[in-house]
Amino acid sequence: MKKDILQALQTVSPIQVEEQMLERPANSKLGDFALPCFPFARALRKSPVAIAEEIAGSLTHPSIRKVEAVNGYVNIFLNRTAITDDLLHLILDQSATYGSSNEGNGGVVTIDLSSPNIAKPFSMGHLRSTVIGNSIAYLLEKTGYQPVKINHIGDWGTQFGKLLTAYRKWGNEEEVRQAPIETLLKLYIRFHEEAETAPSLNDEGRAAFKALEDGDSDALALWDWFKTESLQEFQRIYDLLGVTFDSYNGEAYYNDKMEPVVQELADKGLLVESDGAMVVELEEDMPPCLIKKSDGATLYATRDLAAAIDRKNKYDFVRSIYVVGNEQSLHFTQVKKVLGKLGHEWANDIVHVPFGLILQGGKKMSTRKGKIVLLEEVLKDAIELAQKNIEEKNPTLANKPEVAKAVGVGAILFSDLKQHRKHDIEFNLEAMLQVEGETGPYVQYAHARANSILRKAGAPDKFAIDEVNDYEWDIVKLLSQFPQAVKRANDELDPSVIAKYAVDLAQAFNSFYGNVQVLSDEAHKHYRISLIECVTIVLKESLRLLGIKAPEEM
């Protein structure tokens, strides 16, 4: 629409109108678009008032109903009925595919997300990575890419030698079975405490990791068991969140894929010794990238180098995304640089998508201290609270447990995704579950309310639109902007664009609902039902892109 108007403007006046000059007035009395003419005064040697009047006098377009010149502004009013008619038919016709595009042309984008460390609690950071990465995958799919979700599990490294050692000394099989992560974490902490007075423990730990790297079957069996138990615990969280992955190839998977990379670095003369360790030197202001420790053990970065190359070979990605916290920015910059030095042009296609912390009372929220499986409890608390709300407000609702899960989990997801991912976010369960304000339940509730009108109304007939009131027009304008919102969210890898959009649409729908009689106004009924149906389609699709369910009743 904006493009049409810009073109029409270009043909009636010698002015150069840039897209951002065309404003969208907040007050629809000032038109749907407004062009301030002050910037053209100098070049045209005319007053803005005169320019506005000239343009207003000659501007025409099938989509334009009326043009007014007011104090140097050209106010453009669109042809509401024709536009609304076209748009509603388009949305009803395309349904959930409305807003989809083929921009990506089927190109593969790998997304590294979630990636918790085994034998350690699933942290708030892992939650953010999971939720943001999952939404980005939906956005990519919607815009014609082929996302591949990779859960790069942290299951390798010297810490596992320490853990094996601790378990052999102090561990108990039954306890691990009962509470795997809690027990393994305790063992790991005890290892560090005891190593302070008995440093030889560290040598044992290193030797145990060496054995693991060399494929010692006892060590591997134990490690594999820890891994299985941990993954089962993580799976409970993924089930609650409704997130799945295409690959669980974690760090251990690269154990036998690092040597060729290290060799290539050496062959190309990039590997240098530094304090006994092997490193790749980078720009002056950047610390070198550690490839091998002095004892020969590989590092996090070594595994990421091997993983990046493996992903390129396996998937031939057009882009490779890593959804990992702000604090690992340097790591990913280093990995990219090293890949570039190896001559891989596709290193430029690697994108680190960073995000901020989850805070509680202004402090970093940690799952390390206190309760170990805090996150699972948080999710369960949210579901329980949602259940309580339902009991109070709608005790006869069908599928109460299912709706409570959708609302409770949705609340947590939404409060995370509505902020730009780079911001730190404050965790407040009560606030997240509010049905007022910019929350998941608010959007879900608008969707359910719209559905309840549809249920009462029955199937709509063919409709003819004779007028579009301001409440309806606000909805129509938002509906028409959905494809751009999807595009922008995807371009910027920023799900908050969709979350904010969903709140705006829910708000517009709620004021329409509060002010317009739908079912009793026979003349406009069928048109309005169709409009409401379009609202449900777009709200549901917006929530889906955020990984959130949209119950039809709540």
* DSSP notation for 386-445: HHHHHHHH-TT-TTHHHHHHHHHHHHHHHHHHTS-TTS-EE--HHHHT-SSSS-HHHHHH
**In the complex, least distance from residue 319 CB atom to ligand ARG, rounded to whole angstroms:** 15
Q: Tell me the Ramachandran region of residue 144: left when phi exceeds 0, alpha when psi lies from -120 to 50, beta otherwise.
A: left
Candidate list 145, 322, 442, 512; residue touching ligand ARG; CB under 6 A: 322
Is 112 near ligand ARG (CB under 6 A)? Answer: yes
Q: Which member of 324, 374, 379, 411 binds ligand ARG (CB under 6 A)?
A: 324
Interaction of residue 304 with ligand ARG, rule CB under 6 A: yes
Least gap, CB of 286 to ligand ARG (angstroms)? 18
Residue of 13, 75, 110, 115 interacting with ligand ARG (CB under 6 A): 115
Total interface residues for ligand ARG by CB under 6 A: 9
Does position 155 interact with ligand ARG (CB under 6 A)? The reply is: no
Is 474 strand, coil or helix?
helix
Under rule CB under 6 A, residue 130 binds ligand ARG: no
CA distance 231 to 259: 27
The answer to whether 334 contacts ligand ARG (rule: CB under 6 A) is no
Binding region for ligand ARG (CB under 6 A) out of 79-87, 110-118, 180-188, 229-237: 110-118
The DSSP result for 190-220, as a single string, is HHHHHHHH-THHHHHHHHHHHHHHTT-HHHH
Long-range CB contacts (within 8 A, 24+) of 55-62 = 55/9, 55/12, 55/13, 58/12, 58/13, 59/8, 59/9, 59/12, 60/8, 61/4, 61/5, 61/8
Determine the Cα–Cα distance for residues 471 and 523; give it in Å rounded to an integer.
17
Q: Output phi, psi for 244, to 5 deg.
A: -125, 165
Q: Which residue is nearest to ligand ARG (CB)?
A: 154
Q: Does 152 contact ligand ARG by CB under 6 A? A: yes
Closer of 123 and 415 to ligand ARG (Cβ): 123
In the bound state with ligand ARG, the residue whose beta carbon lies nearer, of 226 and 509, is 226
* Closer CB to ligand ARG, 112 or 229, in the complex: 112
Q: Does residue 138 bind ligand ARG (CB under 6 A)?
A: no
Q: Closer CB to ligand ARG, residue 98 or residue 254?
A: 254
Interaction between residue 117 and ligand ARG (CB under 6 A): yes
Q: Closest distance between ligand ARG and the C-beta of residue 193, in Å?
A: 22
312 binds ligand ARG (CB under 6 A): no
* Cα distances (angstroms) measured from residue 542 to each of 88, 156, 193: 17, 38, 49
Given the rule CB under 6 A, which residues bind ligand ARG? Answer: 112, 115, 117, 152, 154, 304, 307, 322, 324
